[in-house]
Amino acid sequence: MLKKQLQESLAFIRTKTKAAPKIGIILGSGLGPFADELQNKTVIETATIPHYPRSTVEGHAGKLVFGEVSGKNILALQGRVHSYEGYPLQQVTYSVHLMAEIGVKNLIVTNAAGGINLHFKPGDLMLIVDHINMMFDNPLIGVNDDKLGPRFPDMSEPYSRELINLAEATALELGIKLQKGVLAALKGPTYESAAEIRMMRFLGTDAGTMSTVPEVIAAVYHSMKVLGISCITNLATGMSDKKLSHDEVTEVAELVKGKFSRLIKAIIGRMDQT
């Protein structure tokens, strides 16, 4: 069923572009403007693609943007869908399955995240080295199509050590400070309570988000190499006197977009396209 849907989605995309980039990027809350910097763009509204779930959240435009950056052809997803919008994880990860069908082999996942590590501050960029799935759900539950991926994918290295090293070396050369840490994914849409944040810190998490981990699971399923970067847009509940809001998330993402763009462009320029 999934394979048939993907083929129908791909057939529609092929009426708009024949591009088959090997590098993909999913742009999280407030980070969508990066896609506007691509050259020679073909933009497809995801709402027009058969079987593709619609994005309903502010800051998630819902566009596939094919284009060029740093001498490489890439596919940027400008806006994702989330479980809290009412979608099952099988639909949340449809974008990743489709990217695999298009030919993406290296995937950069980004998000806005709340800092749980006491040494983090808003505006930091964090390399994701591992994750804890606190959604208590998995996008691969259900009948498996062995033509798409294995029934039991290995998750010992969901984030490519090779790409982490590349990102660290690139950031060092650019003079951009990168934090490193473990990401926790929760369903939302409520922000976590202070007690939940204390629990997550005890479990060893450094930042929390409401996305990304299901997409990474789907990417690993397709044998993609994954690089994950979180923009720390706020301190988690109980770590400051501020009440949390989505406006704060998008405001901080706006402030770091220049640093984020420079880093991502440089990383893509050094990426292997195989």
CB 5 within 8 A of CB 24: no
Identified catalytic residue from 68, 84, 133, 254: 84
Segment 105-117 shows an average pLDDT of 96
CB 134 within 8 A of CB 213: no
Task: Return the CA Rg of the chain.
Answer: 17
Identified catalytic residue from 52, 76, 82, 200: 82
Instruction: Please state the separation of Cα 91 from the chain's center in Å.
Output: 15
Segments of the chain assigned E as strands: 23-27, 39-45, 63-69, 72-78, 106-115, 125-133, 178-185, 207-209, 225-235
Tokens at 8, concatenated: 């129908």
CB 223 within 8 A of CB 216: no
CA-angle at 73, arms to 67 and 222, nearest 5°: 110
Q: Is residue 128's pLDDT more than 80?
A: yes
Q: Is residue 65's pLDDT more than 80?
A: yes
Q: What is the largest CA-CA distance in the chain?
A: 52
Residue 264: its H or E element:
helix 246-270
Q: Is 234 a catalytic residue?
A: yes
Segment 209-225 shows an average pLDDT of 97
Query: pTM for this structure?
Result: 0.94
Tokens at 270, concatenated: 């050094």
Segment 69-89 shows an average pLDDT of 94
Identified catalytic residue from 60, 73, 230, 266: 60
Q: Is 85 a catalytic residue?
A: yes
CA distances from 25 to 63, 228, 270 (A): 12, 10, 15
Identified catalytic residue from 112, 134, 135, 185: 112
| pLDDT at res. 273 | 60
Identified catalytic residue from 85, 157, 251, 254: 85
Identified catalytic residue from 61, 126, 135, 210: 210
In the chain, % of residues over pLDDT 70: 96
Tokens at 139, concatenated: 């996008």
CB 201 within 8 A of CB 224: no
Among 58, 95, 34, residue whose Cα is nearest residue 189: 58
Q: Is 52 a catalytic residue?
A: no
Q: Is 1 a catalytic residue?
A: no
Identified catalytic residue from 234, 253, 266, 271: 234
List of domains in the chain: 2-270 (3.40.50.1580)
Q: Is residue 243's pLDDT more than 80?
A: no
Contacts of residue 128, Cβ cutoff 8 Å, sequence gap at least 6: 109, 159, 181, 182, 183, 212, 228, 229, 230
Residue 163: pLDDT band (50, 70, 90) is very high
Q: Is 84 a catalytic residue?
A: yes
Residue 32: pLDDT band (50, 70, 90) is confident
For 42-97, the DSSP string reads EEEEGGGSTTPPPP-STT---EEEEEEETTEEEEEEES---GGGT--HHHHTHHHH
Q: Is 211 a catalytic residue?
A: yes
| pLDDT at res. 252 | 73
Identified catalytic residue from 246, 251, 254, 261: 246
Q: Is residue 244's pLDDT more than 70?
A: no
Among 88, 113, 95, residue whose Cα is nearest residue 29: 113
Identified catalytic residue from 29, 55, 95, 106: 29
Q: Is residue 200's pLDDT more than 90?
A: yes
Sign of CA dihedral 203, 209, 214, 219: negative
For 164-185, the DSSP string reads HHHHHHHHHHHT--EEEEEEEE
